[in-house]
Every structure is written in C-alpha cells, then in structure tokens.
C-alpha cells in the first residue's frame, strides 16, 4: 500500500493495562505504528514505577499512528469501546488505580466530536448496563514507556488479556 502523508493521524487512548490494547490495535488494517506510554499526568518523564505508585496522575495509554484513508478515527474509537469496560472508574479487571482509567485524549476538535458522538450513540443504544465514565480530554505530552513494555505480547508470543465485547 502506498502511504500518503496527508492521511497519517494520531489517536491516543487509555483502556487499562496498555499491553493488551496495543496488541489488539497493532493487528488492525490501517494502523501504521503503535507505542505504549503515559499521558494525562502532572510530571515530566514518568516511569512505570512512578505511574504505578499513583503519584503522577498519568494513565497507561497507547499512541496509534493510522492511515485515515484505510481506517477512520471513528472506527478506532469503536474498537476502543469493544476492548475494555468503559463503565468502571479507574479499573479494568484486576487492575485498579487512576493509571487504568478509560480515556480518549483527542488531538483535534474533529476527534473530540467523533468521540462524543460515539459515546452518545452507545449510551442511547444501551450498549452498557452502567454509564460510560470514559474521560474525553485534550491530548498532552505522551511519554514513551520503557522498551520492555513496547509490543509486550507480540515479543513474547502471547495473546491479549483484554475484554472483547464483539
């Protein structure tokens, strides 16, 4: 496929432990690159142990570069909602803490509007038994996680640990 630079966009999402989220998105057509890291916090250059201690305010997140000529931001957000439980505050499965929160860090007003529309539709359609608590906030600095976290499952030949609704 010929990649057109004008179609390259970025999505930043938090849906609990970043290993499984990254693994699932890396497999999608149109996704050019994924990396895991930390965003939404108050300190510079946070590390894994800093974030896990809960003192930095960062979420474990994934940054996705994608070709919007192949996959839309809306499709990415829809998959995001299929990969985790957006109704649990600061928790995904056994992982508890604000670093495991559900959040969409939008990079443009258009991304914000798309995400709001999808949340409204999921709510209207009663897709979840409880209210969606996903944060919708402007993207800020994204700090790459340590190398051993990048493509964690793929490097180890493991399958994802994430919830899949559909």
Active site residues: 17
Q: How far apart are CA 62 and CA 18, in angstroms?
A: 6
Distance of alpha carbon 39 from alpha carbon 94, whole angstroms: 21
CA 3/CA 66 separation, integer angstroms: 10
Number of H helices, E strands in the chain: 5, 8
Element (H, E) at 64: strand 59-67
Query: How wide is the angle at C-alpha 149 spanned by C-alphas 93 and 47, nearest 5°?
Result: 90
Give, as one character, the DSSP assignment of residue 72. -
């Amino acid at each position: 496929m010929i990649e057109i630079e004008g179609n390259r966009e970025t999505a930043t999402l938090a849906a609990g432990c970043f290993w499984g989220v990254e693994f699932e998105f890396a497999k999608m057509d149109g996704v050019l690159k994924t990396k895991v890291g930390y965003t939404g916090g108050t300190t510079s250059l946070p590390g894994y142990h800093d974030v896990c201690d809960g003192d930095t305010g960062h979420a474990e997140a994934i940054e996705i570069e994608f070709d919007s000529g192949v996959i839309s931001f809306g499709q990415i957000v829809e998959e995001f909602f299929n990969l985790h439980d957006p109704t649990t505050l600061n928790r995904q499965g056994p992982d508890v803490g604000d670093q495991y929160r559900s959040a969409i860090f939008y990079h443009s007003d258009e991304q914000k509007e798309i995400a709001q529309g999808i949340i409204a539709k999921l709510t209207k359609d009663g897709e979840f038994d409880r209210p969606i608590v996903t944060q919708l906030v402007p993207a800020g600095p994204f700090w790459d996680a340590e190398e051993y976290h990048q493509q964690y499952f793929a490097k180890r030949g493991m399958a994802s640990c994430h919830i899949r609704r559909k």
